């Protein structure tokens, strides 16, 4: 009888040990099962968007939360900017009709600097995981103003941790430059040099719109702004510059090879040869081209031969082109994807490596580097407010 209490204690201990072992073992099995579970796959995004306007020429646009829904599982990352120019509603010009686009009125355009504060605030309203998909850009400065660089620095001071670059901003742009109040910018303007110097110092990526030629230019002549553009880009070899739309526009189209009418002069090259000059010139290795805008896509798919030539260039230089939509305040995902789908004939002719680089990889390389450099500059140069 005296052994019974000891036996009871032993049995109690064994039961408790078995209970603990079951819990621990079950926990281990559960942990093991959790580890073995397949994580939700990262969406196989179609592209990253190197050129996107959240707002239009009267500063209205898509709600930022709605834009993330539109991106969905199709667009991985996106630049984020407004439009630096506001279309004036001049009653004496259009009466009760409120223009929302620069071709809808003869009234002037003026720089709307508040666009940068708006972009920063809507970006900051997002959770961190959604912010990580966006690269806001500073656009609300006048590239013809020597104080333009001060605006860019002020935006960085007020909104540290937000911006990755500057642009899209325009120098020469068909039907736009002549409407800007105060006059058009110039590739020779020291104000522009100051801006690009500062962008290089900070690490800001630059998206620059500059038509390579004037509208309705003389056939067979060298593009008007070609040499000025080369000189500008060479002056800023330390700045990452993305030339928007490959220098083309609605009526600024790719030049075709044509003999000169001037005796002894060389024939004008095809536009693809001009672009190849940039791609093969070691002094211009910091220059990239975005292929955004449906007006650019129309040239690439104008004929089977045009499509083959475009694809051949992309396959030969896949690290120098970035896809973008140039969409302005889209209402739905179908609208957002339309420009991408216009390029389908070209995508079909690319190598897998070239396709991946142009659709996604080059964006990540350029803007990841910009993010890192800008954050480091902010940490070293900006004092907390």
State pLDDT tens for residues 46-81. Answer: 999 999 999 999 999 999 999 999 999 999 999 999
Q: Can you tell me whether residue 234 is helix, strand or coil?
A: helix
Which pLDDT does position 43 carry in this prediction? 84
For residues 225-236, average pLDDT? 98
Which pLDDT does position 39 carry in this prediction? 53
CATH homologous superfamily of 52-381: Metal-dependent hydrolases (3.20.20.140)
Residues 6 or more apart from 72 whose CB is under 8 A from it? Answer: 333
- Name the pLDDT band for 30 (thresholds 50, 70, 90): very low
Q: Is the pLDDT of residue 273 over 60?
A: yes
Q: Is the peptide bond before 37 cis (omega within 30 degrees of 0)?
A: no
In whole angstroms, what is the distance from residue 322 CA to residue 133 CA?
Answer: 16
Residues 6 or more apart from 80 whose CB is under 8 A from it? Answer: 52, 54, 119, 123, 134, 135, 136, 137
What length does the chain have? 385
In whole angstroms, what is the distance from residue 191 CA to residue 197 CA?
Answer: 10
Which pLDDT does position 263 carry in this prediction? 55
Phi, psi of 55 (to 5 degrees): -125, 165
- Name the pLDDT band for 262 (thresholds 50, 70, 90): low
Which pLDDT does position 225 carry in this prediction? 96
State pLDDT tens for residues 285-322. Answer: 999 999 999 999 999 999 999 999 999 999 999 999 99
Lowest mean pLDDT of 17-26, 104-113, 179-188, 356-365, name the range.
17-26
Phi, psi of 53 (to 5 degrees): -105, 120
Q: Is the pLDDT of residue 223 over 60?
A: yes
Q: Is the pLDDT of residue 360 over 70?
A: yes
Lowest mean pLDDT of 10-24, 108-122, 299-313, name the range.
10-24
Instruction: Label the pairing between strands 109-111 and 85-87.
Output: antiparallel
Residue that is written with structure tokens 């902010």 in the block: 378
For residues 12-39, average pLDDT? 44
**DSSP secondary structure string for all residues of 345-371:** HHHTTS-HHHHHIIIIIHHHHHHHHHH
State pLDDT tens for residues 208-219. Answer: 999 999 988 777
Ramachandran region, residue 203 (left: φ > 0; alpha: ψ -120 to 50; beta: rest) = left
State pLDDT tens for residues 319-359. Answer: 999 999 999 999 999 999 999 999 999 999 999 999 999 99
DSSP 185: -
């Amino acid at each position: 009888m005296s052994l019974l209490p000891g036996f009871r204690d032993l049995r109690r201990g064994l039961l408790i040990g078995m209970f603990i072992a079951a819990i621990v073992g079950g926990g281990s099995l559960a942990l093991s099962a959790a580890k073995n579970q397949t994580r939700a796959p990262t969406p196989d995004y179609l592209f990253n968007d190197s050129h996107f306007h959240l707002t239009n020429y009267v500063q209205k646009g898509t709600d930022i939360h709605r834009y993330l829904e539109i991106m969905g599982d199709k667009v991985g990352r996106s630049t984020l900017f407004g439009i630096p120019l506001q279309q004036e509603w001049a009653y004496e010009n259009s009466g009760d009709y409120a223009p929302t686009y620069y071709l809808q009125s003869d009234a002037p355009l003026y720089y709307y600097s508040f666009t940068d504060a708006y972009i920063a605030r809507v970006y900051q309203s997002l959770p961190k995981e959604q912010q990580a998909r966006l690269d806001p850009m500073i656009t609300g400065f006048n590239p013809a103003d020597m104080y333009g660089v001060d605006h860019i620095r002020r935006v960085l001071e007020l909104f540290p941790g937000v911006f990755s670059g500057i642009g899209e901003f325009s120098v020469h742009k068909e039907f736009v430059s002549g409407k800007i109040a105060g006059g058009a910018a110039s590739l020779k303007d020291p104000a522009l040099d100051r801006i690009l110097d500062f962008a290089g110092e900070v690490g800001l990526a630059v998206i620059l719109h500059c038509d390579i030629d004037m509208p309705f230019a003389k056939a067979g002549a060298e593009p008007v702004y070609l040499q000025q553009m080369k000189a500008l880009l060479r002056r800023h070899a330390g700045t990452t510059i993305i030339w928007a739309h490959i220098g083309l526009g609605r009526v600024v189209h790719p030049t075709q090879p044509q003999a000169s009418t001037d005796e002894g002069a060389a024939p004008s090259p095809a536009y693809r040869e001009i672009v190849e000059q940039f791609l093969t010139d070691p002094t211009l290795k910091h220059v990239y081209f975005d292929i955004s805008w449906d007006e650019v896509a129309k040239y690439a798919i104008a004929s089977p031969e045009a499509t083959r030539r475009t694809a051949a260039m992309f396959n030969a230089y896949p690290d120098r082109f970035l896809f973008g939509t140039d969409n302005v305040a889209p209402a739905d995902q179908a609208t957002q994807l339309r420009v991408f789908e216009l390029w389908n004939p070209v995508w079909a002719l690319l190598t897998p490596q070239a396709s991946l680089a142009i659709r996604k990889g080059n964006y990540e390389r350029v803007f990841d580097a910009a993010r890192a450099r800008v954050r480091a500059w902010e940490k070293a140069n900006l004092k907390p407010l």
